[in-house]
């Protein structure tokens, strides 16, 4: 337990605040890596996930690909890209994006699939086009699960961003690796605790956002998993003209 007291003292020590190796800068770097990764991963994963969820096609491929990507060890991707690109931001960001994509992709298409079939059919029936169904029905109703996916990705990335320091970038991992080399366990523990605190704060924030984005009127409407593609046969008879 002495180490914990030491670590907390280390965190509170004013000497560890100013300068490029200070706690505020390191923490900001960790958050910056996380934010940048999430933006890039969302830009890649959300359109693909929405396309899968809306058309109901390619789901099997997506599931197996994301399963395979999940098995990719981040440390391996990180060191591999770092050998190719050298020291800099590319290697950490590339490997973290790879880490973040499966969760966000799954959140995006699962969100669409969780939309009740009858709601989609009703939207069609009142004359919405495919794009309107997408933008006004599926996107808002799928938002809670999408945010859930982004939340899982954010947690993984903010934790794993610690590894950026291993290939010479910044972030809170610097304290861990510096402490490991000099056997300064208090510094290591301090770095670890800072990462945990950051992760818990992010988790809390996302939990809040997730609660806020549930459209009013559909709170507590979970389940009803849609297993058929949205463009398969209608429930009864053929529509006179299917909105395209």
Partner 1 sequence: MSWVSSNLGVIAASALAHAALSAPTVVLSFVLSVPIGWLAHRYRLTRGTLLAVAGVLYAIPSIPLFVILPIVIGTSARSPLNVVIALTLYGIALMVRSSADAFDAVERDVVDSATAVGFAGMQRFFRVELPLAGPVLLAGLRVVSVSTVSLVTVSGVLGIPSLGLLFTDGFQRGITEEILAGIVATVVLALLFDVLLVLAGRVLMPWARATARRAPRARTREARA
Q: Is 55 in the site for partner 1 (CB under 8 A)?
A: no
Residues 72 to 131 in contact with partner 1, rule: CB under 8 A: 72-80, 82-84
Q: Which residue in the set 27, 48, 51, 192 belongs to the binding site for partner 1 (CB under 8 A)?
A: 192
Q: Which residue in the set 178, 185, 218, 231 belongs to the binding site for partner 1 (CB under 8 A)?
A: 185
Q: Is 12 in the site for partner 1 (CB under 8 A)?
A: no
∠ CA 71-72-74, nearest 5°, is: 125
In the complex with partner 1, which residue's Cβ is closer, 128 or 214? 214
Cβ atoms of 27 and 198 closer than 8 Å: yes
In the complex with partner 1, which residue's Cβ is closer, 39 or 83? 83
* Contacting range for partner 1; rule: CB under 8 A; set: 12-20, 46-54, 197-205, 211-219: 197-205
- Site track for partner 1 across 132-161, x = CB under 8 A: -----------------------x--xxx-
Residues 20-38: b if buried by 16+ CB within 10 A, e if exposed = eeebebbbebbbebbebbb
* Contacting range for partner 1; rule: CB under 8 A; set: 21-29, 35-43, 125-133, 194-202: 194-202
Q: Is 67 in the site for partner 1 (CB under 8 A)?
A: yes
Cβ atoms of 185 and 197 closer than 8 Å: no
Number of residues counted as binding partner 1 (CB under 8 A) = 46
Cβ atoms of 41 and 160 closer than 8 Å: no
Looking at residue 218, the DSSP 8-state letter turns out to be -
Residues 115-141: b if buried by 16+ CB within 10 A, e if exposed = bbbebbeebbeeebebeebbeebbbeb
Q: Please, what is the end-to-end C-alpha distance for the chain in angstroms?
A: 65
Q: How far are the Cα atoms of 119, 125, 149 from residue 241, in angstroms, in the given order? A: 18, 10, 35
Q: Is 189 in the site for partner 1 (CB under 8 A)?
A: yes
In the complex with partner 1, which residue's Cβ is closer, 35 or 75? 75
Question: Which residues are near partner 1 by CB under 8 A?
Answer: 3-4, 67-68, 70-80, 82-84, 155, 158-160, 162-163, 166-167, 173, 176-177, 180, 185, 188-189, 191-193, 195-196, 199-200, 203, 222-225, 227
């Amino acid at each position: 337990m002495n180490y914990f007291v030491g670590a907390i003292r280390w965190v509170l020590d004013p000497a560890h605040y100013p300068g490029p190796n200070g706690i505020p800068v390191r923490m900001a770097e960790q958050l910056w890596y996380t934010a940048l990764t999430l933006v890039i991963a969302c830009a890649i994963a959300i359109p693909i996930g929405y396309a899968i969820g809306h058309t109901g096609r390619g789901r099997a491929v997506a599931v197996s690909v994301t399963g395979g990507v999940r098995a990719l060890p981040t440390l391996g991707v990180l060191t591999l890209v770092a050998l190719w690109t050298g020291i800099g931001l590319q290697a950490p960001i590339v490997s973290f994006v790879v880490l973040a994509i499966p969760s966000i992709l799954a959140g995006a298409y699962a969100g669409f699939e969780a939309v009740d079939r009858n709601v989609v059919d009703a939207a069609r029936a009142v004359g919405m086009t495919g794009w309107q169904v997408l933008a006004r029905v599926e996107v808002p109703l799928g938002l809670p699960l999408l945010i859930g996916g982004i939340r899982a990705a954010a947690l993984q990335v903010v934790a794993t961003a610690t590894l950026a320091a291993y290939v010479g970038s910044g972030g809170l991992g610097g304290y861990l690796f510096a402490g490991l080399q000099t056997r300064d366990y208090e510094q290591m523990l301090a770095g670890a605790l800072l990462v945990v605190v950051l992760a818990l704060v992010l988790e809390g924030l996302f939990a809040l956002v997730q609660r806020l984005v549930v459209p009013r009127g559909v709170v507590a409407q979970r389940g009803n998993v849609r297993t058929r593609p949205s463009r398969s046969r209608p429930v009864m008879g053929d529509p006179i003209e299917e909105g395209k």
